[in-house]
Amino acid sequence: MKQWTLQRMTREDADEISSWVYEPPYERYSFEPTAETYETLLGGSYFSVRHADGSIIGFCCLGREAQVPEGIQNGVYRDPAVDIGLGLNPALTGKKLGVPFTAYVVRWACDATDCLMLRLSVADFNARARNTYEKIGFYKHQEFINRGTLFYTMLLPASALKNDYRLEAKAD
């Protein structure tokens, strides 16, 4: 969508993304440029989303990297689903890109994994993200506490993608 492409995370992508700084209360989503961060970003589960001009719009991850540690311990990820995590470039937040960015990544994730159900985890305080996910069709499923913060898992059946005009974009 909007001439975006999605590719496996490169070292250059990881350099840029690890330099992003999110404003409060979203600062917990900023990466520290550490060896552990690079190991995570380059471990094969992270992907960057680029605009046709080459700039990074955001990133996503699939699988265990998209799960929250306390949620794992509480068993909220037991049911079969493809877990997805998303991050929009902080310079682009608040510019009405959340829904198209999320829709683009969701469509790609379903195509790439042939999943029946997508799942994501979102903090209660992050109303901006929760509202975006609900506009796409995700619904709250379970809740848990991680480091004193309430989180929800949200689900989206892949069947909901087939006839939804918001999700017609395909990854290049």
Radius of gyration of the CA atoms of the chain, in A = 15
CA distance 96 to 109: 21
The pLDDT value recorded for residue 170 is 36
* SS3 (DSSP) at 108: helix
CA distance 85 to 68: 10
| Cα→Cα distances 58→15, 112, 135, 141, 164, Å | 13, 18, 19, 25, 23
The pLDDT value recorded for residue 106 is 94
For residue 25, cis peptide bond before it (omega within 30 degrees of 0) = yes
The pLDDT value recorded for residue 162 is 52
User: Domain for residue 26, yes or no?
Assistant: yes
Q: List, for the chain, all residue ranges whose pLDDT scores fall below the cut of 70.
A: 1-2, 162-172
CATH number at residue 149: 3.40.630.30
- Within 10 A of 141 (CB to CB), how many other CB atoms are there? 17
The pLDDT value recorded for residue 28 is 87
User: Domain for residue 172, yes or no?
Assistant: no
The pLDDT value recorded for residue 169 is 39
Task: Provide the domain count of the chain.
Answer: 1
Which residues form the domain of 14?
Answer: 5-167
pLDDT in tens, 48-76: 999 999 999 999 999 999 999 999 999 99
End-to-end CA distance of the chain: 9
pLDDT in tens, 99-118: 999 999 999 999 899 889 99
